[in-house]
Amino acid sequence: QQPVQSPQAVILREGEDAVINCSSSKALYSVHWYRQKHGEAPVFLMILLKGGEQKGHEKISASFNEKKQQSSLYLTASQLSYSGTYFCGTGGAGRRALTFGSGTRLQVQP
């Protein structure tokens, strides 16, 4: 089942913060976050694994609540380059492929 993302869209001014949420009805082994700019491929941002391990880059942080099967992506001091659509992808244990949410459109204005 597809994870649910909220909000669907958000508009920010440069320097403002944003939080994007992702929730699943199934037990999760991992949560991935990707950013996709218009006309481009999704780009990997971060992975959060059951047990607390995180792997990622850039000035972005995230949390993973295993009990609630939820993850949140924190964008602080947003820059114009943060604009795009953010997708969470959720994976169960083992060898299953990711299931992606429908995305959150983020627009950062000067």
Partner 1 sequence: DTGVSQDPRHKITKRGQNVTFRCDPISEHNRLYWYRQTLGQGPEFLTYFQNEAQLEKSRLLSDRFSAERPKGSFSTLEIQRTEQGDSAMYLCASSPDPQGSYGYTFGSGTRLTVV
Where does this chain bind partner 1 (CB under 8 A)? 2, 29-30, 32, 34, 40-47, 49, 53, 55, 87, 89, 91, 94-103
In the complex, least distance from residue 110 CB atom to partner 1, rounded to whole angstroms: 25
In the complex, least distance from residue 11 CB atom to partner 1, rounded to whole angstroms: 17
Nearest Cα to 44, choosing from 73, 64, 8?
73
- β-strand pairing of 104-109 with 9-13: parallel
φ and ψ at 20, to 5 degrees?
A: -120, 135
**Nearer to partner 1 among residue 24 and residue 32 (C-beta):** 32
Q: Which residues contact 71 (CB under 8 A, 6 or more apart)?
A: 21, 22, 23, 31, 33, 48, 62, 63, 64, 65, 88
**Is residue 71 within 8 Å of 48, Cβ to Cβ?**
yes
**Nearer to partner 1 among residue 70 and residue 104 (C-beta):** 104
In the complex, least distance from residue 97 CB atom to partner 1, rounded to whole angstroms: 5
In the complex, least distance from residue 60 CB atom to partner 1, rounded to whole angstroms: 13
**Nearer to partner 1 among residue 52 and residue 110 (C-beta):** 52
